[in-house]
Amino acid sequence: MKLVPLGDRVVIKALKAEETTKSGIVLPGQSKEKPQQAEVIAVGPGGVVDGKEVTMQVKTGDKVIYSKYSGTEVELDGEEYIIVKQSDILAIME
Amino acid sequence: MKLVPLGDRVVIKALKAEETTKSGIVLPGQSKEKPQQAEVIAVGPGGVVDGKEVTMQVKTGDKVIYSKYSGTEVELDGEEYIIVKQSDILAIME
Amino acid sequence: MKLVPLGDRVVIKALKAEETTKSGIVLPGQSKEKPQQAEVIAVGPGGVVDGKEVTMQVKTGDKVIYSKYSGTEVELDGEEYIIVKQSDILAIME
Amino acid sequence: MKLVPLGDRVVIKALKAEETTKSGIVLPGQSKEKPQQAEVIAVGPGGVVDGKEVTMQVKTGDKVIYSKYSGTEVELDGEEYIIVKQSDILAIME
Amino acid sequence: MKLVPLGDRVVIKALKAEETTKSGIVLPGQSKEKPQQAEVIAVGPGGVVDGKEVTMQVKTGDKVIYSKYSGTEVELDGEEYIIVKQSDILAIME
Amino acid sequence: MKLVPLGDRVVIKALKAEETTKSGIVLPGQSKEKPQQAEVIAVGPGGVVDGKEVTMQVKTGDKVIYSKYSGTEVELDGEEYIIVKQSDILAIME
Amino acid sequence: MKLVPLGDRVVIKALKAEETTKSGIVLPGQSKEKPQQAEVIAVGPGGVVDGKEVTMQVKTGDKVIYSKYSGTEVELDGEEYIIVKQSDILAIME
């Protein structure tokens, strides 16, 4: 069984191996959204989302930085995934 | 008697058999919307909703992940349904 | 004397005979808007509302599910009506 | 001296003769905006308001239901008027 | 030295001679914005403001009703002015 | 070293010589944004900002009234500047 | 490994050498976003972002002023970066 995201949604799987932020001092504004690394598992078709044309820019297998507290955790067949909107993905790591 | 949703609304019925989230630690940001599995019962016609063209992407019988605290519970003929907007459906399970 | 709603507004009359929700457990998110059954009494002309073209999809006599805490109660000639926007009508019961 | 409303504004005068709501039980959601009957005194030209084309649908002399707590009270030559946006007028009474 | 307002702004000067509201009972919703009479001193050029075409409908010398708590008080050469957006002007008094 | 503002931003320098507001009574609504006089130091190119075409209407050397609590203070080479959006500039003093 | 920002995002690296604000008195409105100097490391492709065409105006190597509490801190290979939207960049220092 697999997850097929709708619209501009992306299914990602968090990478847990290394801590992403090691900075000792956490500033108020920045601590609100803690970035995290993840791998893209499935990508929605894009198209018109909320009345706006969205082109998907990430693809399955991409390693990405996403806003940690965005998205929705989903467990399927014992695996944990996160479903985010593409706009919650900040950058691709190459 | 059956429910015919308007616009981009979808009538779904929650699947109760298995717990969807088993993760021990619930993170603040993610606990806000608890995902849940449901079956699509009826799908609105889409069209122009709030001034934006919406194409329906789910169909009757689809198993979907939706944002649990979205939508409106409705009871009809002793059965409980939830009416959500299609944008509250995150992914289809295949 | 009758009510002629403007724009995308609909005059409805609540159906009181049967309780619409019998569920013992009320979930926080869903209790915010308590659905209710009503009959459509009069339908506005639609057209451009708040800069967006609205086509009316309900008609006089329709039995509908609407968001209970939306709309405005109006009493006219001893009868109580509710004036809602069409977007507050979730589904038609057929 | 008379009031010439701008844009989509309408000058109305509240009808005080009869109480509009006699319902004993006031529901939380509905009590937020208490409807009231008024007569239309002057109607703005409509046109582009906040970037959206507005066509005026009420005319001088119309008896209307409006959202009571919307609008601005104005006193001119000892008479009290209320200036509302047309979108605060819910229905015309015929 | 004179004030040349930008965009859809209007420089007005409050008329203080007569009290505009004499109503004994102040209703909660209406007390939020206390209307007031003013004279138009200078009118901005209009044009595209916040991405929307605005046509100026008031002119220097107009007596207007404006929302009292909108706008910004400015003192120039010992005179007090208020700079409001045209949309804060409710009606012209003729 | 000089500041080149982006989009619809304007670099201004506050004029401190004379107090701009001398009114004894400060009304609640108006005290929210305290106007202030400044000189325009540098003007952004305008163009499409947040999806909207913006034409710059102020130029270097203009004396302007701006909303005091808008904008961001920047210190460069011992001089203090404020970077505001053009829409925070209310009027030009001529 | 390098960061490739999506859409209108920009990867920057804060310049720490000199304090940007030395003003003794911090005004409430301005203290909300503390400006800071940074160097642009990588620039997203721009294009349609949230339904609006965005043209990137900064380039790698630019020294910029950005809103300090905007953006997201990211650590990669022991280096700390900040990912901001281009609209959080106020000015280029030349």
Domains and CATH numbers, chain E: 9-16+32-89 (2.30.33.40)
Look at the alpha carbons of E24, E28, E30, E31 in this order and tell me if their dihedral is positive or negative.
positive
What does the pLDDT read at residue C36? 86
Q: Which of A86-90, F1-5, F79-83, G23-27 has the lowest mean pLDDT?
A: G23-27
Say which residue, A41 or E48, is predicted with more confidence.
Answer: A41
Residue-wise over F31-43: b if at least 16 C-beta within 10 A, else e?
A: eebbbbbbebbbb
Chains C and D touch (3+ CB pairs under 8 A): yes
Among D1, D51, D73, select the one facing E93 at the smallest CB separation: D1
Say which residue, C71 or B24, is predicted with more confidence.
Answer: C71
Mutate to test the interface with B, among C8, C27, C90 (most CBs of B within 10 A): C90
What does the pLDDT read at residue A18? 45
Mean pLDDT, residues G11-37: 59
Chains A and B touch (3+ CB pairs under 8 A): yes
Chains G and B touch (3+ CB pairs under 8 A): no
Query: Going by C-beta distance under 8 Å and a sequence separation of 6 or more, which residues neighbour residue E2?
Result: E42, E76, F93, F94
Is the confidence at residue F58, as pLDDT, over 50? yes
Mean pLDDT, residues G9-13: 97
What does the pLDDT read at residue A20? 42
List the alpha helices (DSSP H) in chain G.
28-31
Mean pLDDT, residues F47-66: 93
Q: Tokens in use for E16?
A: 């203080």
Q: Which of C6-20, C73-87, F12-26 has the lowest mean pLDDT?
A: F12-26
pLDDT in tens, F17-31: 544 444 544 444 444
Mutate to test the interface with D, among E18, E26, E30, E56 (most CBs of D within 10 A): E30
Mean pLDDT for chain A? Answer: 83
Mean pLDDT, residues A65-91: 91
Residue linked to tokens 């909300």: G32
The listed range with the strongest mean pLDDT (D20-24, F5-9, G52-56) is F5-9
Q: How far is F34 from chain E (nearest CA, A)?
A: 7
Query: What H or E segment, with its residue span, contains residue C65?
Result: strand C63-67
ipTM surpasses 0.90: no
What does the pLDDT read at residue A34? 53
Q: Tens of pLDDT along chain D (94 residues)?
A: 899 999 999 999 999 754 444 444 444 444 444 568 999 999 999 998 888 889 999 999 999 999 877 889 898 888 999 999 999 999 999 9
What does the pLDDT read at residue F85? 95
Count of pairs with CB atoms under 8 A, one residue in B, one in C: 75
What does the pLDDT read at residue B77? 85
Mean pLDDT, residues C39-58: 93
Nearest CA in chain E to F8: E50
Mean pLDDT, residues A37-63: 94
Residue contact F48–G55, C-beta within 8 A? yes
Nearest CA in chain E to D81: E21
Within 13 Å and on the Cβ side, how many CA atoms surround E87? 14
Residues of B at the A interface (Cβ-Cβ below 8 Å)?
20-23, 27-30, 33, 35, 50-55, 57-58, 65, 67, 86-87, 89-94
pLDDT grade for C46, boundaries at 50, 70 and 90: very high
Residues of G in contact with A69 (CB under 8 A): none
Q: Which of A30-34, B1-5, D8-12, E33-37 has the lowest mean pLDDT?
A: A30-34
Residue contact B6–C57, C-beta within 8 A? yes
Is the confidence at residue C69, as pLDDT, over 90? no
Is the confidence at residue G26, as pLDDT, over 90? no
Among E27, E29, E92, select the one facing D4 at the smallest CB separation: E92
Whether the CB-CB separation of A41 and A60 falls below 8 Å is answered with: yes
Residue contact B73–C22, C-beta within 8 A? no
E-only strand ranges, chain B: 3-5, 9-14, 35-43, 47-49, 52-54, 63-67, 72-76, 79-85, 89-93
Query: Going by C-beta distance under 8 Å and a sequence separation of 6 or more, which residues neighbour residue B59?
Result: B40, B43
What does the pLDDT read at residue D6? 96
What does the pLDDT read at residue E35? 64
Residue contact A7–B87, C-beta within 8 A? yes
pLDDT grade for F78, boundaries at 50, 70 and 90: confident
Residue linked to tokens 């004993």: D24
Which of G66, A28, G32 has the alpha carbon at shortest distance from F70?
G32
Q: How far is C27 from chain D (nearest CA, A)?
A: 18
Mutate to test the interface with A, among G72, G82, G88 (most CBs of A within 10 A): G72
What does the pLDDT read at residue D12? 97
Say which residue, F21 or C93, is predicted with more confidence.
Answer: C93
pLDDT in tens, E17-55: 544 444 444 444 444 445 689 999 999 999 988 888 899
Mean pLDDT, residues B85-91: 95
pTM: 0.78
Look at the alpha carbons of E17, E23, E29, E31 in this order and tell me if their dihedral is positive or negative.
positive
What does the pLDDT read at residue D76? 86
Q: Which of B35-44, C82-91, D56-65, F31-40 has the lowest mean pLDDT?
A: F31-40
Mean pLDDT, residues C65-73: 87
Residues of E in contact with D48 (CB under 8 A): 52-55
Is the confidence at residue A51, as pLDDT, over 80? yes
Is the confidence at residue F35, as pLDDT, over 80? no
Count of pairs with CB atoms under 8 A, one residue in A, one in G: 74
Q: Which of C56-65, E37-46, G11-20 has the lowest mean pLDDT?
A: G11-20
Mutate to test the interface with G, among F12, F32, F33, F72 (most CBs of G within 10 A): F72
Mutate to test the interface with A, among B12, B65, B93 (most CBs of A within 10 A): B65
Residues of A in contact with G77 (CB under 8 A): none
Say which residue, G16 or C28, is predicted with more confidence.
Answer: G16
Residues of F in contact with G30 (CB under 8 A): 69, 71-73, 82
Is the confidence at residue A27, as pLDDT, over 60? no
Residues of G in contact with F75 (CB under 8 A): 20-23
Residue contact C58–B6, C-beta within 8 A? yes
Say which residue, C36 or G65, is predicted with more confidence.
Answer: G65
Among D50, D70, D73, select the one facing E52 at the smallest CB separation: D50
Residue contact G92–F1, C-beta within 8 A? no
Q: Which of C62-71, E36-45, G32-41 has the lowest mean pLDDT?
A: G32-41
Residues of A at the B interface (Cβ-Cβ below 8 Å)?
1-7, 9, 11, 42, 47-48, 50-51, 68-76, 80, 82-83
Residues of E in contact with F22 (CB under 8 A): 75
Q: Tokens in use for A44?
A: 């929605």
Q: How far apart are CA F17 and CA A13, in angstroms?
A: 59
Mean pLDDT, residues A66-70: 84
Is the confidence at residue B48, as pLDDT, over 80? yes
Query: Going by C-beta distance under 8 Å and a sequence separation of 6 or more, which residues neighbour residue B3?
Result: B11, B41, B42, B74, B76, B81, B83, C65, C91, C92, C93, C94
Residues of F in contact with G52 (CB under 8 A): 48, 50-51
The listed range with the strongest mean pLDDT (B18-22, E71-75, G23-27) is E71-75
Residues of C at the D interface (Cβ-Cβ below 8 Å)?
1-7, 9, 11, 42, 47-48, 50-51, 68-76, 80, 82-83
What does the pLDDT read at residue E51? 85
Between strands G63-67 and G89-93, the pairing is antiparallel
Q: How far apart are CA G89 and CA F40, in angstroms?
A: 19
Chains A and G touch (3+ CB pairs under 8 A): yes
Mean pLDDT, residues C28-41: 68
Chains E and C touch (3+ CB pairs under 8 A): no
What does the pLDDT read at residue G22? 47
Among E30, E58, E94, select the one facing D72 at the smallest CB separation: E30
Residue contact F72–G51, C-beta within 8 A? no
Residue contact A53–G48, C-beta within 8 A? yes
What does the pLDDT read at residue B68? 76
CB < 8 Å & 24+ apart, contacts of A16-19: none
pLDDT grade for F66, boundaries at 50, 70 and 90: very high
